[in-house]
Amino acid sequence: MKKQEFDETLKKIGLSRQEFADMTELAYSTIGNWHDEKKPVPGWVKSWLDNYVKAKNMDKVVEAVKPYIGDK
């Protein structure tokens, strides 16, 4: 993942760099230092973002079906 793709993905899913840093317990400056050649975006970031999106979508599904399943 290139830095531009990282930034575009964050924007698309509604996260700021600071929010990403807080959730992943990375220093904000670490994220700012990622560059395409010298310090590339780490490989785990793409899968983390993919899983974040899946989790947010699942939260929406759970909320949608909650009225129909009751408290069990």
Is the pLDDT score of 72 beyond 70?
no
Is the pLDDT score of 69 beyond 90?
no
Q: What is the pLDDT of residue 26?
A: 97
pLDDT tens digits for range 38-48: 889 999 999 99
Q: Supply the range of the domain harboring residue 12.
A: 3-69
How many distinct helices (H) and strands (E) make up the chain? 4, 0
**N-to-C CA span, the chain:** 43
Number of domains in the chain: 1
Q: What is the pLDDT of residue 71?
A: 65
pLDDT tens digits for range 3-39: 999 999 999 999 999 999 999 999 999 999 998 888 8
C-alpha to C-alpha distance for 2 and 33, rounded to whole angstroms: 13
* CA distances (Å), origin 69, targets 21, 54, 59, 65, 72: 36, 22, 15, 7, 8
